[in-house]
């Protein structure tokens, strides 16, 4: 009996997760790799990370044992949709991974948030976005402009605002808070390091965006324990994403009561209790936290690909 296999990829800014599923939809192999968002890692490194991960998955799966190729491959990727569509075309031409389709990384979480129905999802991880499916079934994407132009509701935005505030404190232009020591601890610099030393550390780090985003959990923890300055940063970082989601909802569903619209929160930032509480006090959207990993959404989408 010849089994048919499909590959699914969830490629984000922090990590890349790959699965191999059989013709029953069961996962028979997994592989984890570093993030491959080209806006963060750069195009060459992003493509190299994906290719290395695909080969590693194949080498440690039934594909290697059976010396067969997958029936198809689905890429659900963060950043630069045109780049990933071109990559999918190149991979398809190589015939190594079957026909390759590239989708935005918003589609898997939208699938879970709405269960395939009209609705929307807000996502906040290293980056952020709002994704929606309108009454006709068409999908839409909003925000997610990247760290250069605005990633409200993301780990990067929280980290960026925390660093900016801490640097002003160290320069003597803002009252002292816990943030300066938090930033010093994060960098590993001496406890008396000044603003120039901290600025230099971030600018010279080979992966500054990841280091900035990695501050978010600590800032959220401070906010959860009542630190008003951290709470202010969380509000400034996240409320613009909620406002964007409300604009998307009002435009796509003008005749629908928004309090009954399927709407989800996805990612470690937006599903944090501090952010959930903040959002629920500000909107009538019935925001439901999505705790299922995005790769499960990829697995569900794989079932719709031709065998």
- What's the Cα-to-Cα distance from 232 to each of 41, 66, 171, 219, 291, rounded to whole Å? 30, 56, 20, 10, 26
Distance of alpha carbon 294 from alpha carbon 218, whole angstroms? 23
Are the C-beta atoms of residues 159 and 213 closer than 8 Å to each other?
Answer: yes
- What's the Cα-to-Cα distance from 97 to each of 54, 84, 88, 138, 222, rounded to whole Å? 8, 15, 10, 28, 46
Residue that has been written with the tokens 């990559």 in this structure? 87
Of 238, 190, 242, 185, nearest to 214 by C-alpha is 185
Joined tokens for residue 58: 């194949």
- The angle that helices 155-171 and 228-252 make with each other, rounded to 10 degrees, is 140
Which pLDDT belongs to residue 166? 95
Distance of alpha carbon 230 from alpha carbon 221, whole angstroms? 9
Which pLDDT belongs to residue 207? 86
Which pLDDT belongs to residue 66? 59
Number of residues that this document lists for the chain = 307
Dihedral (Cα; 63, 64, 68, 73), 10-degree rounding: 40
Task: Tell me the CA end-to-end span of the chain in Å, nearest whole number.
Answer: 15
Are the C-beta atoms of residues 71 and 53 closer than 8 Å to each other?
Answer: no
Helix (H, G, I), strand (E, B) or coil at 71: coil
Which pLDDT belongs to residue 150? 79
Are the C-beta atoms of residues 144 and 126 closer than 8 Å to each other?
Answer: no
Distance of alpha carbon 222 from alpha carbon 232, whole angstroms? 11
Per-residue pLDDT of the chain (307 residues; tens, 9 = 90+): 457 899 999 998 888 999 999 988 899 999 999 999 998 888 999 999 999 999 999 998 888 765 577 889 999 998 888 999 999 999 999 999 999 999 988 888 898 888 889 999 999 988 899 999 999 999 999 998 877 887 899 999 999 999 999 999 999 999 989 999 999 999 999 988 999 999 999 999 998 988 999 999 999 999 999 999 999 999 999 999 999 999 999 999 998 899 999 999 999 999 999 999 999 999 999 999 998 888 998 998 898 766 6
Distance of alpha carbon 156 from alpha carbon 289, whole angstroms? 20
Which pLDDT belongs to residue 1? 47
Domains and CATH numbers, the chain: 6-104 (3.30.420.40), 117-290 (3.30.420.40)
């Amino acid at each position: 009996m010849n089994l048919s296999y499909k590959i699914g990829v969830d490629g984000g800014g922090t990590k890349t997760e790959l699965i191999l599923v059989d013709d029953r939809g069961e996962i028979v192999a997994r592989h984890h790799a570093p993030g491959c968002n080209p806006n963060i890692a750069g195009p060459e490194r992003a493509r190299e990370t994906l290719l290395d991960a695909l080969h590693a998955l194949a080498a440690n799966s039934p594909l290697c044992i059976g010396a067969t190729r997958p029936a198809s491959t689905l890429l659900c990727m963060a950043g630069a949709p045109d780049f990933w569509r071109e990559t999918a075309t190149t991979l398809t031409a190589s015939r190594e991974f079957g026909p390759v389709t590239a989708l935005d990384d918003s589609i898997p979480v939208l699938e879970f948030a709405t269960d395939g129905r009209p609705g929307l999802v807000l996502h906040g991880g290293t980056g952020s976005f709002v994704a929606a499916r309108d009454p006709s079934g068409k999908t839409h994407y909003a925000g997610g402009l990247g760290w250069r132009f605005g990633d409200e509701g993301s780990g990067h935005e929280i980290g960026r605002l925390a660093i900016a505030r801490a640097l002003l404190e160290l320069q003597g232009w803002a009252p002292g808070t816990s943030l300066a020591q938090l930033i010093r601890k994060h960098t590993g610099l001496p406890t008396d390091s000044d603003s120039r030393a901290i600025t230099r550390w971030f600018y010279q780090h080979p992966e500054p965006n990841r280091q900035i985003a990695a501050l978010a959990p600590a800032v959220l923890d401070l906010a959860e324990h009542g630190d008003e300055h951290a709470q202010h940063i969380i509000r400034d970082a996240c409320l613009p994403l909620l406002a964007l989601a409300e604009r998307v909802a009002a435009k796509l569903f003008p005749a629908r009561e928004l309090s009954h619209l399927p709407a989800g929160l996805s990612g470690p930032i937006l599903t944090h209790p501090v952010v959930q509480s903040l959002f629920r006090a500000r909107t009538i959207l019935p925001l439901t936290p999505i705790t299922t990993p995005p790769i499960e959404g990829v697995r569900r989408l794989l079932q719709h690909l031709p065998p």
